[in-house]
Structure 1
Amino acid sequence: MSLKLSFLWHMHQPDYVDEGGEMHMPWVFLHAIKDYYEMPWLLSKFPALKATFNLTPTLIRQIRLYEENGYKKDKFLMLWIREVSTLKEEEKKYLIKLCKSAPFETMVKPLQRFAVLYHKEHFGEAELQDLEVLFLLAWCGNYLRENSAVVQSLLQKATAYTQSDKETLLEALLKFIPQILPFYGSLLQSGQISLSTTPYNHPILPLLIDMQTAAVSNPQTVLPQNPLSLEGDAGRQVDKAIELYVKVFGQKPTGLWPAEGAVDEKSLHLYREKGIEWVATDEAILQKTLKSSEKNLCYHRYEYDSVFIAFRDHPLSDSIGFRYRFMEETDAVGDFMKRLDEIGKQHSDANVFVIVDGENAWEFYRNNAMDFFLKLYEAVSKSRTVTMQRFDDLPKEGRQKLPSLHPGSWIYGTFDTWVGQSEKNRAWELIYQTKRETDSAYRKLDKKTQTAVEEHFLASECSDWFWWYGEDHFSDFLAEFDTLFRSHLIAVYELCGMPVPSNLYLNIFRERNVALSQVKPQFPLSVEVDGTETSFYEWLGAGMVDESKAFSTMDGVKRVVQKLYYGENDTVMYFRLDVNVKQFLSAYKEIKLHFKELPDAIVLPVTDRYGKDGLTLVCKDMVEFAIDKKYCQKKSTLHLQLEITDKQNSSEFVPTFGEIEVCLNDYSKNWFI
């Protein structure tokens, strides 16, 4: 058995820079001190192992802004570094909002003082100063914690930080950032990694070329009104990405990760013309291309229009991105290696492509996932059957030529995450409006101003804006994303010397609050477990988690559970899952209830009807199940998270945000008074 394992770690942030050159969000800086150096550093501890990293142009450009300007182009850091006493109330609110954005369990809780401050609503000056410093320290990755004397000293100090401490910390972190890109360059030259790029502003390139492609991918998709072909912009997005890569790394890229794995035949042809030899996307594209749901197809090598296409193993990739953070590191690595072993036994020459967001998952792991990666890389290095391979080293022989290529992305093989809902379509329509109305004035501009206009158009085409618009994802920073998107189109009118249309000053996104997606139980329940809503009153007073409104950037894949209802009475706990029951029964095999206070998970099979030893389940119009309270071991409070496992052994956790608290027979704290 011989298996070739190819990792691609995708490093990306959208363009947070406004027309004045200021970054409105600090995520590039925060991931720079936590992930962008640390991920290749962890790999470098195993010199015989190889991997591929994708660095997007928007990320590279913003890292270089910090190299050139320090904190002076970052809105957050310019406020953070000021004396707390000089801050206005609105500035304090902005800082506090960002400082409370870190995941509590993995980043806040390990720092005792941070955990105390996290739950406060009002801050004195000394408390706010501590909050600011602890927030940045929490974002410092393991490399900095092991190698920076400043970070080590301030972590040990733990509280009572001074303005001098803030200045010393920021100076040390800003000196660290210029080491990041050269480190990738050195690993590229040594041959341990290959590097790839993405079209310049991370656009959904097939939709720029032809918006009708979205309807070809999914005929049910509602298209924006009066679409324009932005094929010229698509070519510029690729040209500028290659140009920047050459400038930074001294050579042309051979490979490219299309933003969001979005591909179609026209974009592949464009990539080939630009000298790109390989791209990658999701296995769903291959299955739709070949009109087959056969899982093992993705372990072969394919090409279309002379461009090699790597099709990611979806369950394996998502296990690292979403599932393993809930497991002990040894168990997670054991599961990963077991799956590779099973694949290898079925295929004598398997190529397994694991493609994962290289930055956003790790803050949900313990210790920024370092323990997981060290165990994973050690296991692979000791394996006699698994070899890690760079994408640049993929053999050209033995490739199967695809006669066609289904258009779509890494999410369900469609483009619906970026077009189809009213907010997403409105954003596209504003781009088309701006293109049409400024075209004549643009042609009369000097070359320098034309270039500035083009930059704003390319920035407005970034996939991230369309990701956040609509009902499928939530962020506490929707208003900031919305403002940034519209600011690029406003700047185009201003550069063209034209009045700005009033509709560009109106919010695209509708106000929504993720807190409304969770309701706690109000009253005891009496449910007939029959898989139907027997009466309106049956689930009245139940707790509810609306997963469809609580999705975040970490949950790109559409989730099977839309809503979870839960409640109890004196003897039984009740649960209800709102799902597509037909899909649920065909694709999923079991439900595990993980109670933090209980030693073992409670397991229910996914089937039409089940009843045994105090456990009852029925799937009909919905999934309803009941659990006898004898399993609660007389606990008064339990913390629960459901794990729903499909037949490919990929799991979805509900709720997405973590555990729900179940206070048995005590509803008083949940009543609205």
Structure 2
Amino acid sequence: MNISFMWHMHQPDYRDGSGVMQMPWVFLHAIKDYYDMPWMLARHEGLKATFNITPPLIEQLKLYYEEPQKHDRFLNLWMQDLVLLNETDRNWMIKLCKSTPFETMVLVLPSYAVLHKKEHYNDNELFDMQVLFILSWCGIYLRSNNELIGRLIKKERNYNCEDKRVLLRELSKFVATIFDYYTKLYKDGRISISTTPLNHPILPLLMDMQNAVKANHSTKIPKQHTSLEDDALLQVIRAQDLFVETFGFVAEGFWPAEGAVDEKSVALLKECGIKWIATDEAILFKSLGNADRSTLYTPYNYSDMCIGFRDHGLSDHIGFTYRYWDANKAANHFISSLSSINESNPQGTVFIILDGENAWEFFDNNAFDFFDELYTKINNTLWCKTLHMDDVAKLPTKPLNNLSPGSWIHGEFNTWVGHNEKTRGWELIYLTKRDYNHHETTLDSGTKEKITNHFLAAECSDWFWWYGDDHFTEFGAEFDMLFRSHLISIYDLMNIAPPSDLFETIIGDRSSQNFWLRPQSHISPTTNGIHDSFFEWIGCGVVDESKLFSTMDRVRGPVSKILYGQDETSVYFAFDADITKLYESDTIGIIIEPIGFNENIELNSLKKLNNEEYFGDIKVEIAAKNILELRIEKSSIKVDQIQIRFELTQGDVIIQTLPGFGELEIDLTTDYSENWYV
């Protein structure tokens, strides 16, 4: 059996009209992931993989080689005297410094954990948190091999301006080595390197917006849409040029942004000399009709283009499930899954394709332990070997006569068009394009080139990802502003007053308050599996899963709402759910994982668990009739604070993790007195 890993490395273009990056995620992932991922592979002799590196990432990462604070708003503020920061910049700095995942990245730095929980900061505290924030993003390679990073981590507090200066200089030098490292591994035959159209656009939507309707007949698209085929061609050609400039050779393959394909976009890539692409299994199954899974495990040939189709389930296990598991258990599960595939598909090829950067901050030790276990087990398995995609393109292929339009998300395009906000974004692009076409002849070539760059940037898929109600980020307003700023800049370059619509926010107010209500008072509901009355849950906390469609957990399962709260003796949970779906398999269970305890609690077969039991030291009462209710006795919990999550499983498949944004942190000593009133 062949295993072909592809790690997709991408960040949107965070540069505003002045060319300054407005958010620091390129830099942070550079010091944590972009070197670490190929390094973790290279530590294991003979393993191969493909790394897809997008043009916006390439262009922005190069800006950190020298004086990075000139190109990054965050680092510019980070280097300034805190006394000089205005209130807006200071609050934004605090917001970013508190954005790091707490359990996996903050807790490992004890002094950072203390500061992270504070609400207000004096200058010394904020200074320390700024340094610790950057240190928390330093990856395993830097922590293991860089003396300065190790020394600053051990210092823990009382950092000074010289610490900041030498830290930024050291990290800038490190970032400048990343692409050279990829090139070396490519020349050694260990990896292939591919890329994506210039600004990570959804090519099928640029070329024909009707593709969204073809993929899902209920999708609403802009009424006055127009083809942007010329832009699509530029997106491909400029990506190829930048790739050659960066790596010194021509990319043989592309990962179309978000795995989005249709017949026209594949023909365009073929005309531009691309030999292979990859996309999701959903596209293959739609293209073949009623095909079984055995058809998945081989490369295909569509119109002389080699295509690999990702195993959606296994890829998502790495990206979204294994973060909660012990590294050895996760690696064993992956190998076991491959073994099952191999039994029915000997000599097949399994494509594992996913984000190569954003998942690892949710793993312990930045996923080093997981990858070390996984790669070791693969190397010790005699019946499989790894290939990169340039190797795969040389294998025999099966013919594919039809290619359905779609992306890696459900085989459709609704993540990027359909919702009112997403559609509004496209309407503003079309409006700006019509105005530009009307005035184009009056503009000089230099101005036209700048305008073209802004159009290509505005066509990035990431803006549309954050519009609508299917994904949530606390930085939605910043993404919205960046998108509109490109279109505003086009009008400024034409010396035309931008339409007032471009100054109105597109994104709605979707802070966590929209889907997460914190508990307001003690509650003491009866745990009987029956929603007795509205009043027994008055004052409880509510997580509305129907409004939360988190980036890191895209699966919507039977539970639509979590109710939770506590009194002096117990912690209570209730799950609003489609009980029929909840009960449709006798193997459904719930795993509760209180951080700090030695074992998980597995409640197998909900139908049989309407009682009170001990799981380890933890006393749990559960009841499920027309609602699932759960009570945990506080006296059996040995700590004052817990972080808790739930998994609904069906056999070996996790059908929903709750809450969708990660864990619920509950302080068991809270008395809610601040909410009392008379």
TM-score between both structures, scaled by the size of structure 1: 0.92
Give the conservation status (yes or no) of the 8 Å contact 1:525–1:568: no
Aligned to 1:57: 55
Residues 550-561 of structure 1 mapped to structure 2, 5 A cutoff: 550-556=548-554, 561=559
Residues 180-199 of structure 1 mapped to structure 2, 5 A cutoff: 180-199=178-197
Rounded Cα–Cα distance in structure 2 between residues aligned with 1:268 and 1:414:
16
Code of the aligned partner of 1:658: G
Superposition deviation, residue 314 in structure 1 = 1.2
Greater CA drift, 410-419 or 536-545: 536-545
Greater CA drift, 640-649 or 441-450: 640-649
Superposition deviation, residue 490 in structure 1 = 0.5
Rounded Cα–Cα distance in structure 1 between residues aligned with 2:141 and 2:418:
42
Superposition deviation, residue 326 in structure 1 = 0.8
Q: Give the alignment partner of residue 628 of structure 2, picking from 613, 622, 625.
A: 625
Superposition deviation, residue 313 in structure 1 = 1.1
1:410 aligns with 2:408: yes
CA deviation vs aligned residue, 1:507-543 (integer Å, no higher than 9, x gap): 111122214422345433347636xx77655755543
Rounded Cα–Cα distance in structure 2 between residues aligned with 1:561 and 1:238:
42
Query: Structure 1 residues 319, 632: closer, same or farther in 2, change over 3 A?
Result: farther
CA deviation vs aligned residue, 1:45-99 (integer Å, no higher than 9, x gap): 1231100000000000001122255321111111111122222222211211111
Aligned to 2:590: 591
Rounded Cα–Cα distance in structure 2 between residues aligned with 1:636 and 1:171:
42
Give the conservation status (yes or no) of the 8 Å contact 1:14–1:59: yes
CA deviation vs aligned residue, 1:233-275 (integer Å, no higher than 9, x gap): 1111111111111111122111111111111111111111111
Query: Structure 1 residues 578, 542: closer, same or farther in 2, change over 3 A?
Result: farther
Code of the aligned partner of 1:200: L
Query: Structure 1 residues 237, 628: closer, same or farther in 2, change over 3 A?
Result: closer
Aligned to 1:640: 644
CA deviation vs aligned residue, 1:124-159 (integer Å, no higher than 9, x gap): 221111111111111111111122222122112111
SS, match of residue 349 in structure 1: coil
Rounded Cα–Cα distance in structure 1 between residues aligned with 2:572 and 2:246:
59
CA deviation vs aligned residue, 1:470-507 (integer Å, no higher than 9, x gap): 11111111111111100100111111221211111111
Query: Structure 1 residues 580, 260: closer, same or farther in 2, change over 3 A?
Result: farther
Greater CA drift, 43-52 or 197-206: 43-52
Superposition deviation, residue 169 in structure 1 = 0.6
Aligned to 1:154: 152
Query: Structure 1 residues 448, 91: closer, same or farther in 2, change over 3 A?
Result: same
Superposition deviation, residue 409 in structure 1 = 1.1
Give the conservation status (yes or no) of the 8 Å contact 2:15–2:21: yes
1:653 aligns with 2:657: yes
Give the conservation status (yes or no) of the 8 Å contact 1:525–1:541: no
Superposition deviation, residue 577 in structure 1 = 3.7
SS, match of residue 13 in structure 1: coil
Residues 493-508 of structure 1 mapped to structure 2, 5 A cutoff: 493-508=491-506
Superposition deviation, residue 103 in structure 1 = 0.7
Aligned to 2:364: 366
Query: Structure 1 residues 303, 478: closer, same or farther in 2, change over 3 A?
Result: same
Code of the aligned partner of 2:278: A
CA deviation vs aligned residue, 1:349-382 (integer Å, no higher than 9, x gap): 2211111111111111111111111121111111
Aligned to 1:316: 314
Rounded Cα–Cα distance in structure 1 between residues aligned with 2:478 and 2:230:
29
SS, match of residue 71 in structure 1: helix
Query: Structure 1 residues 560, 190: closer, same or farther in 2, change over 3 A?
Result: farther
SS, match of residue 351 in structure 2: strand
Q: Give the alignment partner of residue 565 of structure 1, picking from 549, 559, 563.
A: 563
Give the conservation status (yes or no) of the 8 Å contact 1:206–1:267: yes
Give the conservation status (yes or no) of the 8 Å contact 2:586–2:605: no
Rounded Cα–Cα distance in structure 1 between residues aligned with 2:163 and 2:400:
59
Aligned to 2:575: 576
Aligned to 2:616: none
Superposition deviation, residue 225 in structure 1 = 2.8
Give the conservation status (yes or no) of the 8 Å contact 1:300–1:351: yes
Give the conservation status (yes or no) of the 8 Å contact 1:412–1:558: no
Aligned to 1:604: 604
SS, match of residue 66 in structure 1: coil
Q: Give the alignment partner of residue 114 of structure 1, picking from 112, 115, 120.
A: 112
Superposition deviation, residue 562 in structure 1 = 3.5
Aligned to 1:45: 43
Give the conservation status (yes or no) of the 8 Å contact 1:560–1:584: no
Give the conservation status (yes or no) of the 8 Å contact 2:3–2:384: yes
SS, match of residue 316 in structure 1: helix
Give the conservation status (yes or no) of the 8 Å contact 1:315–1:649: no
Residues 10-29 of structure 1 mapped to structure 2, 5 A cutoff: 10-29=8-27
Rounded Cα–Cα distance in structure 1 between residues aligned with 2:510 and 2:676:
20
1:165 aligns with 2:170: no
Query: Structure 1 residues 208, 558: closer, same or farther in 2, change over 3 A?
Result: farther
Gaps of 5+ in 2: 613-620
Give the conservation status (yes or no) of the 8 Å contact 1:280–1:312: yes
Superposition deviation, residue 550 in structure 1 = 4.1
Q: Give the alignment partner of residue 340 of structure 1, picking from 335, 338, 360.
A: 338
SS, match of residue 356 in structure 1: strand
Query: Structure 1 residues 79, 584: closer, same or farther in 2, change over 3 A?
Result: farther
Superposition deviation, residue 568 in structure 1 = 7.7
Rounded Cα–Cα distance in structure 1 between residues aligned with 2:528 and 2:274:
59
Residues 238-637 of structure 1 mapped to structure 2, 5 A cutoff: 238-292=236-290, 294-394=292-392, 396=394, 398-521=396-519, 522=521, 523-526=523-526, 529=529, 540-556=538-554, 561-566=559-564, 575-578=574-577, 585=584, 589-596=588-595, 597=597, 599-605=599-605, 610=608, 613-614=611-612, 624-627=627-630, 633=636
Query: Structure 1 residues 97, 660: closer, same or farther in 2, change over 3 A?
Result: closer
Code of the aligned partner of 1:660: L
Greater CA drift, 96-105 or 570-579: 570-579
CA deviation vs aligned residue, 1:559-602 (integer Å, no higher than 9, x gap): 66432234689899553243595598489843333344473423
Rounded Cα–Cα distance in structure 2 between residues aligned with 1:577 and 1:76:
41
Rounded Cα–Cα distance in structure 2 between residues aligned with 1:365 and 1:210:
39
Superposition deviation, residue 303 in structure 1 = 2.3
Superposition deviation, residue 650 in structure 1 = 4.1
Rounded Cα–Cα distance in structure 2 between residues aligned with 1:83 and 1:501:
38
Superposition deviation, residue 397 in structure 1 = 5.0
Code of the aligned partner of 2:442: K
Give the conservation status (yes or no) of the 8 Å contact 1:572–1:626: no
Gaps of 5+ in 1: none
Code of the aligned partner of 2:482: L
Code of the aligned partner of 2:472: F
SS, match of residue 575 in structure 1: strand
Percentage of identical aligned residues: 45
Query: Structure 1 residues 584, 629: closer, same or farther in 2, change over 3 A?
Result: closer
1:71 aligns with 2:69: yes
Query: Structure 1 residues 670, 527: closer, same or farther in 2, change over 3 A?
Result: farther
TM-score between both structures, scaled by the size of structure 2: 0.91
Give the conservation status (yes or no) of the 8 Å contact 1:567–1:575: no
CA deviation vs aligned residue, 1:411-440 (integer Å, no higher than 9, x gap): 111111111111111111100110111212
CA deviation vs aligned residue, 1:169-202 (integer Å, no higher than 9, x gap): 1111111111011111111111100011101000
Give the conservation status (yes or no) of the 8 Å contact 1:594–1:643: no
- Count of aligned positions: 664
Give the conservation status (yes or no) of the 8 Å contact 2:562–2:573: no
Give the conservation status (yes or no) of the 8 Å contact 1:520–1:670: no
Rounded Cα–Cα distance in structure 2 between residues aligned with 1:366 and 1:202:
30
